[in-house]
A = this chain, B = another copy of it.
Amino acid sequence: MDLSSVSFTEKKYNNRLLLTQITALLKSGSLFQIRHFIHELYPAETAHLIESLQPEDRKKIWAVIPPDVMGEILVQLHVEVAKGLIEITGQKDLIKAVESLESDDLVDLLHVIPEPLYSKVIASIGVQERSRLEAALSYDDDTAGGLMSLDVLTVQATQSLDEVLQDLRRRTFIPKATDNLFVVDQLDIFQGVLPLSVLLTRDPLVMVAESMDSSIEGIPCQMSAEEVALLFEHRDMLSAPVVAENGRLLGRITVDDIVDVIRDQADRSFRSMAGLSEEQDMFSPVMISAKRRAVWLGINLVTAFMASWVIGLFEATLEQIVALAVLMPIVASMGGIAGSQTLTLVIRGLALRQISGINAVQLFKKELSVGIVNGVLWSFVVASIGGIWFHSIGIGLILGGAVIINLICAAFAGASIPLILQRMDIDPALAGGVLLTTVTDVVGFMAFLGLATLFLM
């Protein structure tokens, strides 16, 4: 592959190209070339590449990464991949990696580090910083408290803008994504924000109290990460203050962490639908991967045997009319597809918090109507084909009847299963599909073979 023909911009920005290049280098390049290649990347880009590679290649890359960059890469990796690399990292390097991190990243990483290393890392941190960290560690990962960083710039309402500007000028560093300074009183109670844009455009002699926006409220530290994400999305925020119940400013959430929350949430839903909720690592070892998926296959096997049992109830009928065995998968399959359309729509609505009480009933009615319309339409088509194929009006009518019944049941099940699961605090994306299939298989076979036994025997 000739890399020189690719323009610089394209080379740096195209993720698939980066992957092709690094795999080529891993195959035939020198350690020096690999190191040079990785050195050009941002930590998150390196993390993204590492996740794309199989374990042996990950180790090769990890070996050329300087310890002070390791930390930033580790926090960007999925937990499973990060754990694999932590295992092969020397203790000294890990402590160096941890030391280079900002507080929110450090908290994330500490969740992954195993004992006894964890205690050693904690011990290597100063006392004051340690107590702050331990407070941060007490928040659940999936809450505003778990998302927040402790690096916050605060000002007092009694300062003038000029004083604030001078204070800033004395600092050499302003935390990333700082669009607002937070105004607090002497007890650290959050009072409002002072946007940098106001600071830059208003008369410096004006007081903070007169320039600040006190309509902004702090985010309660217990709010779920998903609600926080919707809030950032809806209000186009870059950063937001997190407060304790008494109003004390605890920290700050920045939009880059929200981007990760949205990506992770979407990724989890997508994987959950196939029973892969735990499989974060594309290249997890074969046996681990097989074991996880076996659980899902086992659960589905129970469903499949239930369907078989239903069919078994009608062995006598099947012995008489073998055409039924040929056509019965059609009924189950149509129900499964129609049901999963409704299921997907409802799960999506729940994830976006767009379903609640009253409109759930309306949605339910709408989905049932769609089920009836498509049931009537397709039962007609299926009945015609089935009837002609087996030269039997009876078989056609029964096939059509079973399809209507199953499509209506499918709409019913597809709409109600996620709502019930949500009530029971079970992830609908994870368990919804298998329950739906159980319903559509059992109802499908039961309706078709039952109708046949009643009318054709």
Contact = CB atoms under 8 A, between A and B. Distances in A.
Interface of A: 8-10, 12-16, 19-20, 23-24, 27, 42, 44-45, 48, 51-54, 165, 168-169, 171-174, 176-179, 196-197, 199-201, 217, 219-220, 223, 227, 230-236, 238, 255-256, 258-260, 262-263, 266-267, 269-271, 273-276, 279, 282-283, 286-287, 289-290, 293-294, 296-298, 300-301, 303-305, 307-308, 311-312, 315, 318-319, 322-323, 325-330, 332-334, 337-338, 340-341, 343-345, 348-349, 352-359, 362-363, 366, 369-370, 373-374, 377-378, 381-382, 385, 437, 441, 445
B255 A266 contact: no
Contacts of A178: 197
Contact of A260 (B223, B233, B381): B233
Nearest to A41: B234
Top 6 closest pairs, chain A to chain B, by CB: A266-B266, A325-B325, A15-B353, A274-B344, A44-B234, A52-B354
A290 B271 CA distance: 27
Contact of A23 (B234, B358, B366): B358
27 contacts: A8-B217, A10-B220, A20-B357, A45-B235, A48-B230, A54-B366, A174-B200, A177-B236, A179-B179, A232-B259, A269-B270, A271-B348, A274-B341, A275-B337, A282-B345, A286-B373, A293-B370, A297-B374, A297-B378, A300-B334, A301-B381, A304-B329, A304-B330, A304-B333, A307-B333, A315-B323, A325-B328
Contact of A326 (B13, B168, B308, B381): B308
B20 A369 contact: no
A20 B356 contact: yes
Contacts of A305: 330, 385
By CB atoms of chain B within 10 A, which of A165, A286, A307 has the most?
A: A286
A300 B232 contact: no
A175 to B, nearest CB: 9
A270 B266 contact: yes
Nearest to A26: B358
Copies in the complex: 2
Contacts of A24: 358
A20 B326 CA distance: 49
A259 B270 contact: no
A297 B373 CA distance: 12
Given A296-B337, A354-B48, A378-B297, A13 B327 contact: no
Nearest to A269: B270
Contacts of A23: 356-359
A330 B293 CA distance: 17
Contacts of A196: 196, 200
Contacts of A441: 329, 333
Given A48-B354, A270-B348, A307-B333, 6 more contacts: A13-B223, A173-B201, A200-B200, A282-B355, A301-B330, A319-B319
Nearest to A363: B282
